[in-house]
Structure 1
Amino acid sequence: MQGPMAVFVALGAFLMTLFGGWTAQRVTDRRHLVLGLAGGLMLGVVGLDLLPEAMHAAGSEILGVPQALLLFVGGFLVAHLVERLLAVRRASHGGDPHGPGHPAGERVPQVGLTAAAAMVGHSLMDGIALGAAFQVGGGMGTAVALAVIAHDFADGFNTYTITSLYGNDRRRAVTMLVADAIAPVLGAASTLLFTLPAEALGSYLGFFGGVLLYLAAAEILPEAHHDHPARSTLLCTVLGVGFIWVVVGVAD
């Protein structure tokens, strides 16, 4: 009975993800506030949710450094490398670093799609974690379900925002949003067939945390303050972090 319950709860995550993306779409006239909130949500997810879970699950050390932290740094560097390689590839098609006919400062759409695909992968792992928690027991399943459903709002919000930020049209942004919404349902359903080792899950969370931190710190937050360096934008960032703190605290 616990397996079907996990899938049922994942349907709630599906709806919450879509609601997060819908919210991001509706407030485009306050783009700087959207990006500020998205950056805060991503920072909160990394520092207060993903990294602690990764450290707990993948706690073995390599040359004196926890494996999860090594993968965290590796994820940050890989995200930076991917963005640079895609930018260079675009530059090779013309003299302008962003390609012919592209104004300076334009984002590379493939980076947005790659980042959104990583968000989809994370949501898939959310579903797997949800199913695994229900396999452990109802109490654990309920706690994880609360965390997954609540922070999937942030996932949907961030998936739509980051896809659009890099110049992808609304159709692509909505496509990635729907994929992100479906992913936890598929992940939860998959646990009816297998169980994911805790260390593998922890390693993944550490790596993805590094990717997410890069996107938040190097891309989304600077963009949020580029045209509107207002205190309201900073407040949205703080509120985003605070929201994830509350979610994690309630789940624990």
Structure 2
Amino acid sequence: MAVFVALGAFLMTLVGGWTAQHVTDRRHLVLGLAGGLMLGVVGLDLLPEALSAAGGEVFGVPAALLLFVAGFLVAHLVERLLAVRRTAHGAHEPPGPGPAHGEPHGEFHEGGAVAGGRIPQVGLTAAAAMVGHSLMDGVAIGAAFQVGGGMGAAVAIAVITHDFADGFNTYTLTSLYGNARRRAVAMLVADALAPVVGAASTLLFTLPEQPLGAYLGFFGGVLLYLAAAEILPEAHHEHPARSTLLFTIGGVAFIWLVVGVAG
């Protein structure tokens, strides 16, 4: 049953990625929506689940929150290390806006950088983290069905609905950093398959609750960094429009609705 339900997550992820591909002429709105969806997923879904599941405190601070901060710092460190590596290899042009409309992504320059100072490895790393998250989504579905049918259905509704955001964000994150379209599509397909694989894996084992909560806390910190330090500033770089802000708020509101319905 869990694997069958995970197929719904597979389809919803592809729908999200397809949506991201077909709105390139409104790139700032895409990024604004993606940032809102990511903020909503972190603040309204991942972090509450992590706090509930991880349990325990370390020097008076919930372990999930410590891992949340650690995830944020690790994401920042990885991006800085990649930026230093790019500079050391001779790519000295200053960061600028992303590719203009009609300009192909993935146009590499000296040192592995792309036009506009984007670092493709950052996008691939972020997308790989999204794939890992989707794998754990599938594990969560399977683990919930191990508890009971009602719990499994509730978790499945939440996962399938927010997998639209996962697919949308996976494609957007990969392409935003200058990766070619084929790479973005490959990461999208991997993200779509991940929950099915995760759900199938629970047929072989029972997942302890605390490691799952710890993972959710850490991954929430990574997503918050990407949303606050990368996606949203890029969305407002060329188009500081009110509509972009409204799309961001709409993304958060959508996740709130999903969490409310699932709860």
Shorter-chain TM-score range: over 0.9
Deviation at residue 32 of structure 1 after TM alignment: 0.1
Which residue identity is paired with 1:227? E
Equivalent residue for 2:101? Answer: none
Secondary structure of 1:248 counterpart: helix
Given the alignment of the two structures, is residue 29 of structure 1 paired with residue 25 of structure 2, yes or no? yes
Counterpart of 1:17 in structure 2 is: 13
* 1:74 paired to 2:81: no
Give distance in 1, aligned partners of 2:116 and 2:64. 34
| Whole-angstrom CA distance in 2 between matches of 1:16 and 1:31 | 21
Distance 1:125 1:44 in 2: 18
Name the structure 2 match of 1:107: 118
CA RMSD of aligned residues (A): 1.3
Deviates more, 1:103-112 or 1:12-21: 103-112
| Structure 1 residues without counterparts, runs of 5 or longer | none
Structure 1 runs, 4 residues or longer, greater than 2 Å off: 97-105
Choose which of 15, 35, 41 in structure 1 pairs with 2:37: 41
Q: Which residue of 1 aligns with 2:56?
A: 60
Question: 2:217 — aligned with what?
Answer: 206
In the alignment, does 2:144 pair up with 1:133?
yes
What SS does the aligned partner of 2:239 have? Answer: coil
The equivalent residue for 2:97 is none
Show structure 2 runs of 5+ residues with no match.
95-108
The superposition leaves residues 75-130 of structure 1 with CA deviations (integer Å, 9 ceiling, x where unpaired) of 00000000000111111111616774867842100000000000000000000000
Residue deviations 1:170-221 (CA, integer Å, cap 9, x gap): 0000000000000000000000000111000000000000000000000000
The two structures have a TM-score, normalised by structure 1, of: 0.96
Corresponding position: 1:232 with 2:228: no
Inter-partner Cα distance in structure 2 for 1:95 and 1:219: 20
AA in 2 matched with 1:55 = L
Cα distance in 1, alignment partners of residues 175 and 8 from structure 2: 25
User: Paired residue for 1:249, among 254, 257, 260?
Assistant: 260
Please give the secondary structure, in 1, of the residue aligned with 2:165.
Answer: helix
Which residue of 2 is the match for residue 185 of structure 1?
196
